[in-house]
Amino acid sequence: MHAVLYGINWYPEIRGITTVMIAVGVLCGSVYLLLGTNLGARLGFLVALTGLFGWMTVMGGIWAVYGIGLKGREATWKPKEIIVGDVNAATNPIAHDISRWKNLSSDDPSYGQANASSDEILTNKAKYFSATSEYRTVNVYLLGGSRYPRLGPWHPNIKFPWRINTIDFDQLAVFHRTHYALVEVQPLVSQNTEPAKAPPAAVPDTTKPPVYVLMVRDLGAKRLPAFGIMFGSGLIFGILCYMLHTRDKLAMTRTGRLPALTRAPS
pLDDT at 225: 96
Contact 70, 225 (CB under 8 A): yes
Contact 98, 141 (CB under 8 A): yes
Contact 136, 186 (CB under 8 A): yes
Average pLDDT for runs of 10 along the chain of length 266 = 62 78 89 92 94 96 94 94 92 92 94 95 93 92 89 67 67 87 93 75 87 95 96 97 93 76 52
pLDDT at 10: 64
Is the whole-model pTM more than 0.95? no
Q: How far apart are CA 86 and CA 205, in angstroms?
A: 16
pLDDT at 103: 95
Contact 115, 137 (CB under 8 A): yes
Q: Where are the domains of the chain?
A: 2-70+224-254, 76-192+200-218
The neighbour count for residue 99, using CB atoms within 10 Å, is 5
> Rounded to 5 degrees, what are φ and ψ at 9?
-75, -25
pLDDT at 228: 97
Secondary structure letter of residue 203 according to DSSP: -
